[in-house]
Amino acid sequence: MGKRQRLKKEQRKNMKGWAEGARAELLDKHVLGYADALERGYMAEDEFLRLVFVEYHFIIDWRLADHEDPPRPWPAFDPKIAYVPEVLSDEDAKKKSAAREKTNERIKRWLRYRVRKLNKKRLRLRRDHLNDPYTILLAQLVGITKPPKARQAYQEWMVEDGKNSVAMKTKERWDEAVINGATGGPRAGIRMGAARDLFAELTEAERAGWKDRAKETAEANKHEYQNALKAPPSKDPRERQLCISGLPAFAAPILKGIHERTGLNVVLLVGGPIPSEGGEIGTMNLAYGKNQEPMPVPWPKWKEQEFKGILTHYRDFLSTVYSEGDRKAAALPSLGDDAPLIQDEGLYMLEEDFPGLTENLDDVSDSLDDDISSSDDEAPRKKRKQGPKPSDGNWKKRAVVKDDDAPAKTKANDSNKENDSGTSIGSTKGKQHLSAYERQRLENIENIRNDPRMKELNEEIRQLQEERRPP
């Protein structure tokens, strides 16, 4: 069965691949710079995007359709020069403004998606939950002492020895299903069925061996889990940097829960020696809740210069908390410019396992939620984290979700947003009238729910859950 030929850009009915050609050539060079700007905080991100937008619109005229490339050679762009705007009629000026606003959002999503692909260290925790310090902390707080569920014998075989053969068998069965009219991709049931059938073809002695192996693994996991619950937190710089990188994702749902139960504005401010910055003092803050000004903002973005003063005062205090020896001990060991300080093995992108923190890959920006502000405000500005994105009241699984936040922010759950009276929309449930603003937010939430991409992500999650469920 031959591969379906890709449609030309002008023949496509959606925006997929809109940047192919000259636009991608123009934007590709900014991916690394944008990744760096994200790590330095929202102000650095906004400034970097502003320059990208200006250059893009300087070279690519707003009237050009997606399939039309600007003529070459391109004019030289100098960000230090203030270019004279073109003279347009009122009608054309409105069209230009709308076109540019739409394009800017697309550029931002395009860059964010590629940063995710490029920098898989952003918002990560350990894939191995036995060694995830936050998993252990939560287990201690709530009294959970059960180890991970034991695998079945065929699951142990599939994970350790049968991946390739299961993949081939799954492909064969899916090809047959496609001939019979199936669409999409192989479901979890097909993969697990293939694994069971292949496992059944092993000799009785081999199956018994894998059964014993599964029991041994489960027993080892049990002891490791119990020991992890009893062990004191690690002081190793690598372990602490992992915790720092994952703090926004861990804390955001907790801040949201505190806000919903107390009705109070919540701020988390932490600071101290940052391992990835050689032990230099740095700060990080997360804030849940916005004010009721015409343009609502969280505390860190309200009177930003004054907030910077607070951070400066806090850092001055921190300099009295940590000695020079403490800072040196906190630093990650240098392994050379080309060697990673923290190994990738055993880590995963937060978006893959923490639903609701970001939105759909291609067409949803990954900025912070409307009500959650997270920033690494001062040097070292490492690892800006995304806060949780409320979608339909539950944290949606995905690869992260919405959310995304950075400028193009996702609309928060109706129970999160505050209305003009200071009460949550959720508390107005029995009232007959909602403001235009509230109706618009509810409409946006409904659109996210009904987005085909979100449904596809939910289906992928269902498949993964089915794979992990014992037969």
- The pLDDT tens digits for 352-401 are 232 222 222 223 223 333 344 444 444 344 444 444 443 333 333 333 33
- Is residue 126's pLDDT more than 50? no
Q: Are strands 266-274 and 372-378 parallel, antiparallel or unpaired?
A: unpaired
Whether residue 132 is contained in a domain is answered as no
Residue 314: domain span: 241-330
Distance CA 236, CA 241 (A): 9
Query: 249 and 221, same structural domain?
Result: no
Query: 37 and 114, same structural domain?
Result: yes
- Is residue 111's pLDDT more than 50? yes
Whether residue 36 is contained in a domain is answered as yes
**Domain count of the fold of the chain:** 4
Q: At what angle do helices 42-59 and 31-39 cross, to 10 degrees?
A: 160
Q: How confident is the model at residue 182 (pLDDT cuts 50, 70, 90)?
A: confident
Q: Which is higher by pLDDT, 375 or 315? A: 315
Query: 264 and 221, same structural domain?
Result: no
Query: 312 and 291, same structural domain?
Result: yes
Phi/psi region, residue 82 (left: phi>0; alpha: psi -120 to 50; beta: rest), is beta
Query: 457 and 362, same structural domain?
Result: yes
pLDDT at site 168: 86
Mean pLDDT calculated for residue range 276-293: 89
Share of the chain above pLDDT 70, in %: 60
Among 115-124, 181-190, 380-389, 391-400, which stretch is predicted with the lowest mean pLDDT?
391-400
The residue out of 64, 97, 118 marking a domain boundary is 118
The residue out of 92, 118, 144 marking a domain boundary is 118
Two tokens, residue 131: 């060694």
Whether residue 341 is contained in a domain is answered as no
- Is residue 125's pLDDT more than 50? no
Instruction: Single out the residue of 146, 138, 120 nearest to residue 225, CA to CA.
Output: 146
Q: How confident is the model at residue 120 (pLDDT cuts 50, 70, 90)?
A: low
- Is residue 435's pLDDT more than 60? no
Whether residue 337 is contained in a domain is answered as no
- Is residue 146's pLDDT more than 90? no
Containing 317, the helix (H) or strand (E) segment is helix 304-321
Whether residue 454 is contained in a domain is answered as yes
> Hey, how many other C-beta atoms are within 10 angstroms of the C-beta on 190?
19
Q: How far, in Å, are 49, 153, 220 from residue 216 at the CA level? A: 53, 11, 6
Burial of 453 per CB tally in 10 Å (0-12, 13-18, 19+): middle
- The H-assigned helical ranges of 152-293 are 153-160, 163-179, 188-200, 204-230, 237-262
Among 94-98, 255-259, 266-270, 281-285, which stretch is predicted with the lowest mean pLDDT?
255-259
Q: How confident is the model at residue 138 (pLDDT cuts 50, 70, 90)?
A: low
Query: 180 and 268, same structural domain?
Result: no
Q: What angle do CA 332, 338, 344 make, to 5 degrees?
A: 65
The residue out of 206, 230, 254 marking a domain boundary is 230
- Is residue 311's pLDDT more than 60? yes
Whether residue 268 is contained in a domain is answered as yes
Whether residue 301 is contained in a domain is answered as yes
pLDDT at site 136: 62
Whether residue 346 is contained in a domain is answered as no
Query: 442 and 355, same structural domain?
Result: yes
Q: Token pair 């993964």 is at which residue?
A: 464
pLDDT at site 158: 83
Two tokens, residue 124: 């990560």
- Average pLDDT of the residues of the chain: 71
Query: 272 and 179, same structural domain?
Result: no
What strand order describes the sheet that includes 280-288?
266-274, 280-288, 372-378
- SS3 of residue 192 by DSSP: helix
Q: How confident is the model at residue 134 (pLDDT cuts 50, 70, 90)?
A: low
Q: How confident is the model at residue 415 (pLDDT cuts 50, 70, 90)?
A: very low
Q: How confident is the model at residue 313 (pLDDT cuts 50, 70, 90)?
A: very high
Distance CA 154, CA 109 (A): 41
Query: 168 and 111, same structural domain?
Result: no
Q: Is the peptide bond before 380 cis (omega within 30 degrees of 0)?
A: yes
Q: How confident is the model at residue 175 (pLDDT cuts 50, 70, 90)?
A: confident
Query: 459 and 363, same structural domain?
Result: yes
Query: 292 and 358, same structural domain?
Result: no
Query: 246 and 226, same structural domain?
Result: no
Length of the chain: 471
pLDDT at site 349: 28
pLDDT at site 365: 28
